[in-house]
Amino acid sequence: MDVVLAPDIYVNASVALGSAPEHAVRRAFGGPGKPKASPWVMERVESMLRAIPEFKDDAIAQQMATIRGLVDLVQTDEFFIEDWDKALVALAKAAGVGRVMTDHPDLLASQSVSGIEFVSSDHWLIEQMTPPPPPRP
């Protein structure tokens, strides 16, 4: 997998079935390797799900267990809640990838931080479905 997923992608996939984030997560989890996540990402996902009134404690626990079972956790430095760009750049570097999938408008506006590119779920899905160019003669 060439990207790591930001917390908003996990949350949007959890609450908006049929959306681009949900399709991107399904495709990412369907690949040969497990996507990488960090404890910071998992904490943000749980916190964001708890902020959604329709998600009850049992549903949150079940969703978090499902996500944890589908990812490999990698260790990074500890970050504050608001340090999205720093935490996601650290995750991408620890995972050995150059991109982070997010639909967070502030991160997408910056496009790249410390050599790590931020790409939207829509953009990533289009890339995945676009066939490679034909070989040159």
Domain boundaries, the chain: 3-129
Instruction: Summarize pLDDT for 81-102 with one digit per residue, the tens.
Output: 999 999 999 999 999 999 999 9
Buried b (16+ CB within 10 A) or exposed e, 47-75: ebbeeeeebeeeebeebbeebeeebeebe
Model confidence pLDDT, tens digit, residues 105-131 = 999 998 889 999 999 999 999 988 888
Residue ranges of alpha helices (H) inside 16-132 are 20-29, 39-50, 57-70, 84-95, 105-110, 121-129
Q: Which CATH superfamily is domain 3-129 in?
A: 5'-nuclease (3.40.50.1010)
Predicted TM-score (pTM) of this structure: 0.90
Task: Assign 136 a pLDDT band (cuts: 50, 70, 90).
Answer: confident
pLDDT digit string, tens, across residues 11-46: 999 998 889 989 999 888 887 888 999 999 999 999
